[in-house]
A = this chain, B = another copy of it.
């Protein structure tokens, strides 16, 4: 590692080729001494004036959201903040924490566990719905489009992305998201189509051997698509939402459990506060 005590190289001969790299641009953030502009807004002026969810929208979409969209995005981000000990992302994060690696390493491992079958459903569901809306633009009704894209999956008894849950038979998070989208008048064609798909799947309960209601991934997919999010940003919204949960699990593992334990994913119980109501008057 100390090159000076070796034969000095012939710099003319071993100079690395130096290709021209093109000048490039970024439209996200401007930084200069004592100045940071996020999408044009002074960062210190945003602080205290917009919520973090508003700033997330600004960062990803380029403009501040309307108040209704800001409320919707806050709810979407709250909806997936945690789902207990058993998701693979949580178990990956906890297994990293048992070796007492830095907290951020647990978090990164948890994020890596979001694959096509866990979190990645959001992007798949957005593509699935876009396929159906293509049919609508070509003249089909919502109902016919839903029936057609369901048939593509049902033919091989495959569950479409965004439906069913290994745990919930009716996902309370999805219902609440749809209710809010309705109240905030943000419901649009993706939400309408996913409800039509859910209806079409009800008629196939016998074929699948289970009810397949929209799950939280499906609800986030439809709502984010109606809000105009790009497909891979739909997954990203889920990442942002779940990060605090991953952090809380990694932290709890470090402070409550012995290092190098083996984690039994089923033989545990909950010892936090018992069920309680959200205080009145909060918004």
User: Complex Cα distance A23/B267, Å?
Assistant: 6
- The segment out of A131-139, A146-154, A175-183, A185-193 that lies at the interface is A175-183
A82–B111 contact, CB under 8 A?
no
Given A79-B47, A172-B35, A172-B36, the answer on whether A104 and B100 have CB atoms closer than 8 Å is: no
Copies assembled:
4
CB distance from A58 to the nearest CB of B (A): 8
Tell whether A208 is near chain B: CB-to-CB under 8 Å.
Answer: no
Of B40, B104, B169, B268, the residue contacting A273 (CB under 8 A) is: B40
User: Complex Cα distance A118/B21, Å?
Assistant: 19
A243–B244 contact, CB under 8 A?
no
A47–B25 contact, CB under 8 A?
no
B252–A1 contact, CB under 8 A?
yes
A84–B26 contact, CB under 8 A?
yes
CB distance from A98 to the nearest CB of B (A): 5
**Which of A15, A180, A239, A262 has the most C-beta atoms of chain B within 10 angstroms of its own C-beta?**
A262
Complex contacts, A112 vs chain B, CB 8 Å = 96, 101, 104-106, 108-109, 112
